[in-house]
């Protein structure tokens, strides 16, 4: 029998993990998460609201952010929010990161193999699949004007003091799970990072839903 949990179980767990974040995070990080939630909540739901997660290679953390933020937006019925990811250079969605997300219930199918594979990401059944591959964040296929840029690593934050096309910028760096590549703890390290990123995405999207509902 497969040990992979259904996605619904993982989404519920991420929701639960997000509930404890206010008592766990330092004030600076909590302020940045709340600032992102405030910006998103202030956007009109009548038009798409875009968020782009950016790290150096667009291979691990930024993809996790893109996928979990989209899942969280749909979970809390914030259906105007669309998520993207990019890097300061293109490499590939790392196989370890793909494996970690699959092991948490995300359905990921290979559309095109090669050096930089293209994947189809399927989350909740009632929502469409979307594509993921490693891209430079300035590529036209991966851009929208007026998006929120979320910098998921210090290197990308330093390399991109200005993100062209972004209306807002937020700095939420995560430790790179690649430090565990080739070790016995790689699987657990990637899983831990995926859950950490997912919990923060759920925290943000719940705040967005609550703030919009409060203004309704």
d(CA 49, CA 27): 26
pLDDT tens sequence across 116-174: 999 999 999 999 999 999 999 888 555 567 899 999 987 766 666 678 889 999 999 99
| CB 27, CB 60: distance < 8 Å | no
pLDDT at 144: 62
d(CA 169, CA 158): 13
Instruction: Return the structure tokens found at 148.
Output: 């929120």
Say what the pTM is.
Answer: 0.94
pLDDT tens sequence across 9-48: 999 999 999 999 999 999 999 999 999 999 999 999 999 9
For residue 16, count other CB atoms closer than 10 A to its CB: 11
80 closest CA partner among 52, 47, 53: 47
pLDDT at 1: 42
- Domains assigned to the chain: 7-210 (3.40.50.2300)
75 closest CA partner among 195, 202, 200, 199: 202
């Amino acid at each position: 029998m497969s040990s992979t949990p259904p996605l619904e179980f993982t989404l519920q767990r991420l929701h639960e993990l997000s509930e404890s974040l206010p008592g766990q995070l330092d004030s600076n990080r909590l302020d940045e998460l709340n600032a992102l939630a405030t910006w998103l909540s202030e956007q009109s739901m009548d038009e798409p609201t875009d968020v782009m997660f950016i790290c150096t290679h667009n291979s691990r953390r930024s993809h996790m952010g893109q996928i979990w933020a989209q899942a969280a937006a749909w979970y809390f019925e914030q259906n105007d929010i669309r998520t993207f990811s990019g890097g300061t250079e293109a490499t590939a969605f790392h196989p370890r990161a793909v494996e970690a997300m699959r092991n948490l219930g995300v359905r990921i199918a290979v559309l095109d193999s090669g050096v930089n594979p293209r994947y189809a990401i399927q989350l909740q059944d009632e929502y469409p699949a979307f594509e993921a591959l490693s891209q430079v964040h300035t590529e036209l296929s991966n851009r929208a004007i007026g998006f929120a840029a979320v910098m998921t690593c210090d290197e990308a934050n330093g390399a991109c003091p200005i993100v062209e096309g972004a209306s807002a910028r937020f700095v939420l760096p995560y430790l790179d799970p690649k430090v565990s590549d080739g070790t016995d703890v790689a699987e657990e390290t990637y899983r831990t990072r995926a859950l950490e990123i997912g919990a923060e995405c759920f925290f943000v999207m719940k705040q967005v839903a609550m703030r919009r509902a409060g203004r309704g």
